Amino acid sequence: MNEETAIRVEDISKTFLIPHELTNTFLERLARFEWKRKYEKFEALRDVSFEVNKGEFFGIIGRNGSGKSTLLKIIAGIYTPDKGKVKINGEISPFLELGVGFNPELSGRDNIHLNGTILGLSKKEIKARFDSIVAFSEMERFIDQKLKNYSSGMQVRLAFSVSIHTNKEILIMDEVLAVGDARFQLKCFGFFEEMIQAGKTILFVSHDSTSMRKYANRVLYLENGYPSFIGPAGEALSKYMKTEDIPEKKSEVVDEPKQASKGEAIEDPHRYIFTHFNP
């Protein structure tokens, strides 16, 4: 693999077998007098190949159920593809389905320790980065509360903060912006810019076309599990809009500081990142 390549996906296919009836127990299967389950095949990914270079902001778009999350999970090593290979140059920090595997019964503090460890940090590293993790997520007040008392936006902020503080070469970001507030979204993008400048790679899934257009170097458009287009963001997006018959319009998602500060005063949100983010 080329030195400049961060991720190389070769000809990946993945089919899920979905059983017709959910017979999850021995007893049920015995009672039905048939051992073999009838399956329906669902082709989640078909012949997906692409390369992501180091320092690239690579976007993935597609409808719900088009295989985006499956693809990310295969790259993160959670699922195994039926066919094909994934090669990765460096280590991955996964942020999948809005989280890093938090435990709702534990406090924010304990969750940082648990998930930091799972993501490959040593005890020392977690200790050193703990304050920075809390500061980035702005959870100082709630850090000793159980996670189940957090709002979904707060949980995502904390999870995102943990995942970026692992300081890995590749970040997998699945729908980071979905529940965070505008201010947090800004902070995320400020952080992404920093990462790209530092030569890190970002794999970014989002339904937000404005940020895709603004930040992504290249975009992969998945259509029912098949990579129907890889290339510049603008082209990928207009192909997506055309195929899915979505009228193109200016996206409502806020990504300008002016709009974000509506109602509350933020002088310069990026300042915050620079002063607090120090992995």
Q: Please state the separation of Cα 31 from the chain's center in Å.
A: 42
Shortest reach from residue 228's CB to another protein, in Å: 24
What string marks each residue from 249 to 278 as x (binds another protein by CB under 8 A) or -? ------------------------------
Which range in 101-109, 198-206, 225-233, 254-262 contacts another protein by CB under 8 A?
101-109
Check binding of 11 to another protein (CB under 8 A).
Answer: no
Out of 110, 138, 181, 223, the residue judged to bind another protein by CB under 8 A: 110
Check binding of 88 to another protein (CB under 8 A).
Answer: yes
Check binding of 2 to another protein (CB under 8 A).
Answer: no
Nearer to another protein by Cβ, of 46 and 213: the residue is 46
What string marks each residue from 175 to 204 as x (binds another protein by CB under 8 A) or -? ------------------------------
Nearer to another protein by Cβ, of 89 and 209: the residue is 89
